[in-house]
């Protein structure tokens, strides 16, 4: 008799494990993976124990669920291996669409068996988890110690289906690379919104720090000693934007300045993240340009073979000399060049932001010293060189930031066919909802 301790479709858990490992399935749809973990109860002892102790069943099910998470990780390895192999085939420009499909079908045909064979690796863990629960029971119920339980497992995986763009677009000019670039760019577009919010926050807090310093000076018992300093500070205050928060003690000013530092640190971290990812997108675009060139050369060779009089067309801008005028490859190269231009513009904007963050850090340090002077009643000989609201050009990172990247990405995707366009829109939608 088999008593089930866990039963269900492990597909979603395997997909989650793949995503966490950085190997999402982009070229095929993972099939349902039905798993049934059970215990053989040939002597009827387990059934009897479950009848007497309903809590035991819950404990067994929890033990089974824990092992299923481990099983999902094992299966994610095989799914990742299949994805890696298929990516190499899909991005190989020397293979025809038919050859790619044949090789990919072969890999996907093996996947169900590879998933099923994880049973041998996970079964000892199922047995150990069940025995742990059973042994705990036997400590208080000695009559069950003479019985043995044996775990079993059934795994049935369906057939994986290839995503049509894997062959239909990659074979013509690198659709997979396009989606890889757009995946990076869409993520960067999402971070742009965070940069916008952080920039606005940092600018606001900087103004709060300065105005609070002035308010604190005015309330000091010996404010007259700070007279020239206060007059100089108020000149700057009149040029700053209004703010709701103003504190009036040195220690509160110190806390506010520390908050300003945290805002700057957040901007610094996000700026580096954006710069790194934008550079990755440029590296991927270089790979895509090579694929476009290779595809163009293949077509030119085919044209030359069919018509010896036909020669290579011209070329404009930074595109390869092998690309004929008005060809699909030329359109793809132009769209790619446009996206590269937008990416480079964004890199310059991030560099400008980084310079402003560095200025903000110096400003923070100046405030820190000035606030310390107030706490210790040390009057500086003159007003420190404090910026008059340095600002972080936050408007750069609002809709302009995302829209420019999105528009250029969609234009590039359009040159690779409707399926790539649809997936490109989905990627931007995912990050907008995140």
d(CA 144, CA 132): 14
Predicted pLDDT at 253: 85
222, burial (CB in 10 Å: exposed 0-12, middle 13-18, buried 19+): exposed
67-84 in b/e form (b: 16+ CB < 10 A) is bbebbbbbbbbbbbebbe
d(CA 220, CA 215): 9
Predicted pLDDT at 210: 80
**Structural domain boundaries of the chain?**
2-164, 171-433
Predicted pLDDT at 191: 78
Phi and psi at residue 40, to the nearest 5°: -80, 120
Host H or E run for residue 137? helix 118-140
149, burial (CB in 10 Å: exposed 0-12, middle 13-18, buried 19+): buried
Predicted pLDDT at 205: 86
Predicted pLDDT at 267: 87
Q: Residue 31 corresponds to which tokens in the numbers above?
A: 């099939």
Host H or E run for residue 4? strand 2-9
pLDDT (tens place) for every residue of the chain, 434 residues total = 777 777 788 888 888 888 777 777 777 777 788 888 877 777 676 677 767 666 666 777 777 788 888 888 888 899 889 888 888 887 787 877 778 888 888 888 888 888 888 888 887 887 787 777 767 767 666 665 666 667 777 777 777 666 544 444 444 446 777 888 888 888 887 777 788 888 888 888 888 888 888 788 777 655 555 555 655 555 555 545 555 556 678 888 888 899 899 989 888 888 888 888 888 889 888 888 888 887 777 767 766 665 555 444 433 334 444 555 446 778 888 899 999 999 998 888 888 888 888 888 888 888 888 888 888 877 766 666 565 556 665 555 665 777 888 888 888 888 877 677 777 887 777 666 55
């Amino acid at each position: 008799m088999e008593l089930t301790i866990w039963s269900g479709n492990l597909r979603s858990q395997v997909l989650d494990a793949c995503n966490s490992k950085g190997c999402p399935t982009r070229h095929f749809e993972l099939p349902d993976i039905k798993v049934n973990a059970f215990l053989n109860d040939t002597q009827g002892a387990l059934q009897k124990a479950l009848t007497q102790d309903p809590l035991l069943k819950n404990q067994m099910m929890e033990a089974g669920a824990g092992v299923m998470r481990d099983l999902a990780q094992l299966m994610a390895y095989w799914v990742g291996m299949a994805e890696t192999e298929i990516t190499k085939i899909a991005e190989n420009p020397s293979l025809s669409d038919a050859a790619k499909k044949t090789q990919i079908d072969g890999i996907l045909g093996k996947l169900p068996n590879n998933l099923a064979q994880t049973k041998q690796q996970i079964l000892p863990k199922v047995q150990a988890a069940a025995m742990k629960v059973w042994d705990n029971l036997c400590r208080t119920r000695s009559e069950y110690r003479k019985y043995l339980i044996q775990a079993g497992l059934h795994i049935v995986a369906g057939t994986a289906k290839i995503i049509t763009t894997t062959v239909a677009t990659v074979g013509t000019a690198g659709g997979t690379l396009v989606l890889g670039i757009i995946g990076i760019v869409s993520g960067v577009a999402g971070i742009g919104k965070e940069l916008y919010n952080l920039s606005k926050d940092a600018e606001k807090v900087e103004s709060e720090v300065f105005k609070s310093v002035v308010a604190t000076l005015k309330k000091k018992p010996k404010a007259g000693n700070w007279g020239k300093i206060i007059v100089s500070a108020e000149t700057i205050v009149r040029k700053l934007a209004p703010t709701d928060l103003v504190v009036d003690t040195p220690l509160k000013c110190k806390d506010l300045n520390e908050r300003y530092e945290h805002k700057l640190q957040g901007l610094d971290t996000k700026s580096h993240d954006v710069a790194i990812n934008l550079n990755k997108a440029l590296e991927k675009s270089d790979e895509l340009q090579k694929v476009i060139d290779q595809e163009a050369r293949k077509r030119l060779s085919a044209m030359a073979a069919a018509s010896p009089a036909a020669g290579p067309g011209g070329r404009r801008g930074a595109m390869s000399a092998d690309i004929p005028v008005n060809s699909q490859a030329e359109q793809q190269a132009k769209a790619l060049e446009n996206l590269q231009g937008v990416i480079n513009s964004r890199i310059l904007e991030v560099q400008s932001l980084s310079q402003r963050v560095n200025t903000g850090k110096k400003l923070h340090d100046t405030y820190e010293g000035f606030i310390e002077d107030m706490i210790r009643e040390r009057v500086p000989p003159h007003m420190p060189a404090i910026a008059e609201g340095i600002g972080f050009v936050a408007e750069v990172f609002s809709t302009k930031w995302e829209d420019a990247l999105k528009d250029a990405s969609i234009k590039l995707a359009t040159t690779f066919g409707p399926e790539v366009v649809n997936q490109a829109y989905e990627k931007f939608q995912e990050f907008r909802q995140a």
